[in-house]
Structure 1
Amino acid sequence: MFDAPVETWYLWVGLAIASTAAVGLAVALPRAPPPDAAGAAETVDAVSASAHPTTGVHPLSADAVRIGPYRIWLRDDGRSGHAALAYGPVTPVRRDTALWDVLRGTPPEEAFSTPAEFRRVGAEARDRTPEWRSPDELTVRRVTWEGVDVTLVG
């Protein structure tokens, strides 16, 4: 009555395979959530939606950031997160450029000779393919100069 049936070994093999699969799945799951791209996007949107020139800073806890005209991506230890920007397009800014100087507080009339040049350089920056960069914080500045209205992000 308490003897195991002959088919029991199939049960044990199946249980061992299922247990191994469950352990493998648990090990493969990420240990932490992806970086908070939504928080960075909210900062960009808050500055972009402002009715007047504004500057905002958002600290980043990610290893790398990629900024596009309508989207932002954050990456950290193989995990990545992304968020769409509600108020785009924004202008991604690279270091050591005239746009970088404007992002950091230089008035656009000191960095560019004309508003048309400012508009052209901004359009070229938006047309570039987004690249991964390693910043500690995200700086956003909305600038208006003689009809040229841009939101710089770097």
Structure 2
Amino acid sequence: MFDVPLDSWYVWFGLAVVSSATVGVAGTLPSSPPPDAAGGAQTIDSVAASDRPAVGKHPLSNAESVRIGTSSLSLRGGGEISHEALRYGPVTPAGADDRLQSVLRGSHPDKQFDTPAAFAEAAEAARTEQPQWYTTDELVVRRVIWEGTDVVLAG
């Protein structure tokens, strides 16, 4: 009595509309999880909180690019961006300065800078620049203490 006959056109039309909507929604779902900004921020914070020179590395497998600010980390990948605030800082992004990049990768600051004051000045200049997106597969963080100049580099 209350059954809908399956040979009615409106039943098939409604089924087609519902199926199309389901396929449309499924097609917009992300194919991979968002990048893990919290893990990268935790790596930065653990190095920055150290009272001695330290190095930390964090793989960025889900991220296509990274943006490091003095107090935040952003990762972009899979069409999504994740942000995380840093607890310790300020952090010095080493992306644009080749000398800071060399120190970040393990070179002693005295091989790149004439004085600790020049090192501190370069770090301050890097902190005042607008953060940029960089492509990398690994986040590297290094705390450097050189004759009273204490800098946390990240790149």
TM-score of the aligned structures, taking structure 2 as reference length:
0.83
Deviation at 1:25?
A: 2.3
Question: In 1, distance between residues paired with 2:131 and 2:98?
Answer: 16
Write out aligned runs for 1:12-27 (5 A).
17=17, 20-27=20-27
TM-score of the aligned structures, taking structure 1 as reference length:
0.84
Structure 2 letter corresponding to 1:107: H
Q: Quote the residue 2:44 is aligned against.
A: 44
Deviation at 1:16?
A: 5.5
Alignment of 1:142 with 2:136, yes or no, is no
Alignment of 1:35 with 2:39, yes or no, is no
Question: In 2, distance between residues paired with 1:25 and 1:133?
Answer: 32
Structure 2 letter corresponding to 1:23: V
How many residue pairs align between the two structures?
152
Q: Quote the residue 1:72 is aligned against.
A: 73
Deviation at 1:81?
A: 1.6
Structure 2 letter corresponding to 1:113: D
| Paired-residue identity, % | 54
Structure 1 letter corresponding to 2:127: R
Tell me, which stretches of 5 or more residues in structure 1 are unaligned? none
Write out aligned runs for 1:121-140 (5 A).
121-140=122-141
SS for the counterpart of 1:38 is helix
Cα RMSD for the two superposed structures: 2.4
Question: In 1, distance between residues paired with 2:2 and 2:95?
Answer: 75
List per-residue Cα deviations over 1:33-86 (Å, max 9, x = no partner).
101111111111110001101011111112211111111111223222221111
Tell me, which stretches of 5 or more residues in structure 2 are unaligned? none
Closer, same or farther: CA 96–128 of 1 in aligned 2, 3 Å: closer
